[in-house]
Chains A and B, each alone.
Chain A
Amino acid sequence: MEAFVMKSIEQWLEKNTFHHSDFWDILALIREKERKGLKISLCIPTLNEEKTIGKELVIFKSELMDRYPLIDELAVIDSGSTDKTREVAAAFGADVYLSSEILEPYGFKRGKGENLWKAIYQLEGDIICYVDADIKNIHPRFCYGLVAPLIYRDEMQYVKAFYDRPLAFSQGIRPSGGGRVTEILVRPLFSLFFPELSAIIQPLSGEYAVRREVLEAIAFPIGYGVETSHILDVYHHWGLDAFGQTDLDQRIHRNQTTLDLGKMSFGILQSFLKRLESFGMVDRLPEMSNLYRQFQAQENRYEQVVKEIIEEERPPMLEIPEYRKKYGVDS
């Protein structure tokens, strides 16, 4: 089993992991998109993002609509910002929607997942690319690097971003570029229950491109668990080969406090356990793996570093006869 997982991950890393520079020829990408008759929507979910949304829209509209017509629809779906997010977004040519006004009979729930879900109804693309609004170093690669594998590879369904390529360090390896919640919670969970998924270097990144056929078939947690549950559902229905991941180099964004990360972890854990339940895994857990997987890069190749972590246990001291004798427990 372990050998199978090892081989499967190696093959997937080789075939389905990209670097944004693989897709520098945007004109060729546009030709392929047009040949296949695909329509692409870029969706930016927002809540009080007036400081960064203007720049994102200027860059995407200029580079991927005006200069190179890769995107057909540039939309902001807002959760009810109290700052000037919607005004700024409209000024720079985005289609701006208030989440609460989409599919009104179904009500409005406050959370990023709500906006992502309603985007499927509101936007018309065959591929929807989601990009968070808080990226300080925004660049067109945040979109074309994610949609390109879907345009070129028909079997691919869901392409995730990852950042800060993992590097080999003199003292072991550097954490594989995932954030704190990924490394402390999500990757250990994946390693235990879904070892193949540990190969997704940043499962929680907010940037990903997905085919409509997949988006319309999966459920959307409204809060922190949306990315984790997506990965589990897509894996459950379509398998590891449906995923791709693209190295987008550096991403600069605001840092979250440890308290916020605690809330995020709690939401993710809820979604994860719900998925275990719906997959019928709660009362028949798979044999838990002792192998923990991390990843490192060699040039442009990515490889797994597997460590065996066996959590052995000692019994309560009361069960040790020598102990009982020494302390006269039986007398």
Chain B
Amino acid sequence: MIKKSELKTILEHLLKNRDELHKLREIVLANAVMIGEIPAPSFSEAGRARFLLDRFTEGGLQNISCDEAGNPTAVLPGSNGKENILISAHVDTEFEAGVDHTMHVSTDRINGFGIADNSLGVAVMASLPTILERLGIRLKHNLVLLGAVKSLGKGDLEGLRFFINHTPLTFKSALCLEGVHLGRLSYSCLGMMRGEISCTVENVASGDASIAIMTLTKIISRMMSIPLPQSPKTSIILGSISGGKTYGKPATKARLKFEIRSEQTGMIGDILRTIQAIVDEMDSEELVHVSVKVISRNKTGGIDFTHPLVETARTIMKELGIKARMAPSVGDLSAIIAKGIPALTLGLTSGSKKEDDFEYVDIDPLFTGIAQVLAVICAIDGGICDEID
């Protein structure tokens, strides 16, 4: 049971200071624009890391550093500093440095590649020290800010895992910030496995045209026939397919990137064994070599729906008029949860991050999203989210 009277005090303070929060609009938006315009494909996030370190310095934070993995980190010391709260936002994006990273600001939106995932999340994290100061919020516990590098795709949460596994600090709770969508509340992780299937053909004669792609097609067809339970929810996602070079030349290589997600412990291993058997069967055919490689893997986990951290977050969202959408995460949260730290992922505003589409985030709802984050931080700081033994 959460301490509702203390939570009420926190929310009243925030609502009273809503105008003050709006006065900080340009601070947050400028950070979003400047961070968004620094390209940061996974494994090349140094520019954004440098920017964050400068912001941490300007904010008067302590222990400002970049760790061996390249994660920029800093500490906003609390008044007693006995415990630590981790705020994390992944700094990498899906876009290569050559992509036009120009951000466009209109009265209601910011448009630009990577703004929703996750330049805005990073910007809000970078703005937190200023926001807390201007709103007169002094935390008891230390707030540890982490820009997580190498999170997406082949990065496989490398930055966050490095930090969590090597930091001497222990954490009371953690929040992961994502640009979209406001209302997102993730407190558990799906079991997840990402893999690649590669087909290579040797000595292609014109009569053997397209064996690589045909083999991959057969594998896909067999994968789609694997029976999956509706509940607990389990799915196979075909994310990317590539192969060959041009119209009239038989493809000698083809590759499939896929992901398996499941809420059921052990299910991913079962599906992977089935896929491995299909691949082995295809590999036994002449001329073609087929292999499957596991790129990354997360275990199912998280805190319960009734955990005080989740309950508090839901109450705060309800009070702020945010419709909570509970969805398990396959991202940063899983690396934190794997270490047994109670953690949530929160979305900050409405917007869009469809693949190959121009991303955008809405400006107005962002301030409700920030208020939500502040309230959860204050609640953690005040002990409202602690589990009672």
Contacts and interface: CB of A to CB of B under 8 A. Distances in A.
Interface of A: 50-52, 54-55, 57-59, 61-63, 65-67, 84, 87-88, 91-93, 136-137, 139, 252
Contacts of B26: 57-58, 61-62, 65-66, 92-93
B340 to A, nearest CB: 38
B30 A59 contact: yes
B30 A63 contact: yes
A59 B33 contact: yes
Cβ-closest 5 pairs across A and B:
A62-B30, A54-B105, A62-B26, A55-B105, A61-B26
A84 to B, nearest CB: 7
A55 B107 contact: no
A182 B106 CA distance: 33
Contact of A58 (B30, B58, B102, B130): B30
Contact of B106 (A61, A62, A88, A139): A88
B104 interface: yes
Nearest to B55: A67
7 contacts: A51-B104, A59-B34, A61-B26, A62-B26, A63-B30, A87-B107, A88-B106
Contact of A62 (B29, B103, B104, B107): B29
Main secondary structure of the interface of A (DSSP, over half): helix
Nearest to B27: A62
Given A51-B104, A88-B107, A91-B107, A67 B27 contact: yes
Contacts of B107: 54, 84, 87-88, 91-92
Contact of A55 (B27, B103, B130): B103
Nearest to A51: B104
Interface residues of B, number: 17
Given A58-B33, A137-B102, 9 more contacts: A55-B33, A57-B26, A59-B34, A61-B26, A61-B30, A62-B30, A65-B26, A67-B27, A93-B26
Nearest to A26: B58
Given A67-B58, A137-B37, A58 B104 contact: no
Contacts of B102: 136-137, 252
Nearest to B101: A137
A252 B29 CA distance: 20
A67 B107 CA distance: 21
A256 B30 CA distance: 28
Contacts of A88: 106-107
A58 B29 contact: yes
A309 B58 CA distance: 53
B105 A58 contact: yes
B197 to A, nearest CB: 42
Contacts of A84: 107
Contacts of B24: 66
A55 B58 contact: no
A326 B73 CA distance: 89
A136 B100 CA distance: 11
Nearest to B105: A54
A67 B54 CA distance: 13
B231 to A, nearest CB: 47
Interface in B90-110: 102-107
Nearest to B24: A66
Contacts of B31: 62
B129 to A, nearest CB: 12
Indicate the member of A57, A59, A252 with the most B CB atoms within 10 Å. A59
Indicate the member of B58, B102, B106 with the most A CB atoms within 10 Å. B106
Indicate the member of A52, A54, A57, A137 with the most B CB atoms within 10 Å. A54
A166 B65 CA distance: 35
Interface string B2-43: 000000000000000000000010110111011001000000
Contacts of A252: 102
Nearest to B31: A62
Indicate the member of A55, A59, A91, A136 with the most B CB atoms within 10 Å. A55
A67 B129 CA distance: 12
Nearest to B29: A58
Contact of A54 (B58, B106, B130): B106
Contacts of B37: 137
Interface string B104-124: 111100000000000000000
Nearest to B108: A91
Nearest to B134: A66
A247 to B, nearest CB: 20
A88 B30 CA distance: 15
A91 to B, nearest CB: 4
B107 to A, nearest CB: 4
A139 B379 CA distance: 37
Contacts of B130: 67
Contacts of A50: 106
A75 B185 CA distance: 41
Nearest to B37: A137
Contacts of B103: 55
A57 B106 CA distance: 11
Contacts of A58: 26, 29-30, 33, 105
Indicate the member of B30, B58, B130 with the most A CB atoms within 10 Å. B30
Contacts of A91: 107
B30 to A, nearest CB: 3
A136 B105 CA distance: 11
Contacts of A93: 26
Contacts of B58: 67
Nearest to A67: B27
